[in-house]
Structure 1
Amino acid sequence: MPQMSPINWLLLMTYFIIILAIYTITNYYLYIYKSTKTTKSLKSPQTKWKW
């Protein structure tokens, strides 16, 4: 297996950090940050059944 030069390891670490940051920011905005538009549209309609 050929050896990688240090610049390649540096690029590999940089790409990994960038991908990890994008993944973390995406998860924050998808699961933690509650926007008002999505919470209104995701509520199920409440029905009162009269049996």
Structure 2
Amino acid sequence: MPQMAPISWLLLFFIFSFTLILFSIINYFYLTPTPPSSTKLLITQSTLIWKW
């Protein structure tokens, strides 16, 4: 079983690190948030009358 040289391990580390950073940046900037709609939602509050 051949062993890898330390330079190869360093190269692999840089490749995986670069891939992780690039993947994170792409996922962060992939979807743009939609602005909130201008229509107002009607919130109804029901009052409870407690009969003890």
| TM-score, with structure 2 as normaliser | 0.58
Using the alignment, how far apart are the partners of 1:29 and 1:6 within structure 2?
A: 35
Q: What corresponds to 1:7 in structure 2?
A: 7
Using the alignment, how far apart are the partners of 1:9 and 1:3 within structure 2?
A: 10
Deviations 1:13-51 (A, max 9, x none): 0000000000000010114x53xxxx47xxxxxxxxxxx
Q: How many residues align?
A: 35
Using the alignment, how far apart are the partners of 1:20 and 1:30 within structure 2?
A: 15
Using the alignment, how far apart are the partners of 1:23 and 1:2 within structure 2?
A: 32
Over the matched positions of the two proteins, sequence identity in percent amounts to: 46
Q: Which runs of 4+ in 1 moved over 3 A?
A: none
| TM-score, with structure 1 as normaliser | 0.59
Q: What corresponds to 1:19 in structure 2?
A: 19
Question: Amino acid of the residue matched to residue 21 of structure 1?
Answer: I
Q: Any unmatched runs of 5+ in structure 2?
A: 36-52
Task: Find the residue that maps to 1:26 and give its secondary structure.
Answer: helix
